[in-house]
Chains A and B, each alone.
Chain A
Amino acid sequence: EIVLTQSPGTLSLSPGERATLSCRASQSVTSNYLVWYQQRPGQAPRLLIYDASNRATGIPDRFSGSGSGTDFTLTISRLEPEDFAVYFCQQYGSSPRTFGGGTKVEIK
C-alpha cells in the first residue's frame, strides 16, 4: 500500500502568513490522483483540491495544490482565521486508498 507522509505535523503561523504543507508518497501516485481535505474540529472533512492541483467548487483561490509523482504540496497563500484546522492528503489511484497523518495549522 502507498504510505503518505505529511509534514510538518504542526505548523504555527499568524493570520496573513503563507502556509506550505507537504505530502510525500512511498511510491508514485497513479495519475496524480491525490486530494487535500480540510477538517475543522467536530466537522467532517471538506474537499479542497482534487487531482493534485484542481480546486473544488467554492474553494477560495488562496488554496492551491501542486506536485506530481511522489511529492505534493498544498499552499495557502494568506491565512485567514477560518483556515486554522487540520489538513489531510489522500491518494485514490491505488487500493487501499490511503490518507496521510495530517498537518495541524495552528495560530502562532
Chain B
Amino acid sequence: QVQLVQSGAEVKKPGASVKVSCKTSGYTFRSYGISWVRQALGQGLEWMGWISTSNGNTNYAQNLQGRVTMTTDTSTGTAYMELRSLRSDDTAVYYCARTGASAYSYGHYWGQGTLVTVSS
C-alpha cells in the first residue's frame, strides 16, 4: 500500500535550517509528484510548494521563495524539504503528500507530519 513516512520532530533555533524527509513506498516514485504543506498548531493549512519527481521541476509559494528548497532522491524514493533562516512563525507541523504527476494536482496520500519547533 502507498505509504509516506516522514522524519521525526525537530527543535531549531531562530536563524537555523531544517531538512525534513519523506520516505515513500508502495508505488512508482517517479510517476507522481510531491507537495509540502504546513500547519501551525491549531491553524489552517498552508501550501508550501510542489516538486516533480520525474524532472525535479519545482513550484514554490511566493512567501517562501529564497528560503525553501525541495529535492528528491529517486534511488531511495525519498523527498526532502529544507527551510532556512527559520523564524518563530515557522513553528508548525510539516506534511508531505503524494500528488499526481501534473503540477495541477492535489495531495492524495499524506505523510504523518513532522513537528518543527523554532525557539531560542
Q: Which of B9-17, B71-79, B80-88, B108-116 contacts its partner?
A: B108-116
Which residues does chain B contribute within 8 Å of A44, judged by CB atoms? 95, 110-113
The count of chain A contact residues (Cβ–Cβ below 8 Å) is 23
Interchain CB contact under 8 A, A93 and B46: no
- Is A45 interfacial (CB 8 A cutoff)? yes
The count of chain B contact residues (Cβ–Cβ below 8 Å) is 21
Partner of A99, one of B44, B50, B108: B44
B35 to chain A, nearest CB (A): 8
Interchain CB contact under 8 A, B62 and A96: yes
* Number of residue pairs A-B, CB distance < 8 angstroms: 51
Query: In the complex, A100→B44 CA distance in Å?
Result: 8
A45-B45, A88-B45, A99-B45 in contact; A33/B104 too (CB < 8 A)?
yes
Which residues does chain A contribute within 8 Å of B27, judged by CB atoms? none
A35-B106, A92-B105 given; 12 more Cβ-contact pairs under 8 Å: A30-B104, A37-B45, A44-B95, A44-B111, A45-B37, A92-B104, A98-B47, A99-B37, A99-B44, A99-B46, A100-B44, A101-B44
- Minimum-distance CB pairs A-B, first 3: A44-B110, A97-B47, A99-B45
Chain B interfacial positions (CB closer than 8 Å to A):
35, 37, 44-47, 50, 59, 61-62, 95, 97, 104-108, 110-113
Chain A interfacial positions (CB closer than 8 Å to B):
30-31, 33, 35, 37, 44-47, 50, 56, 88, 90, 92-93, 95-102
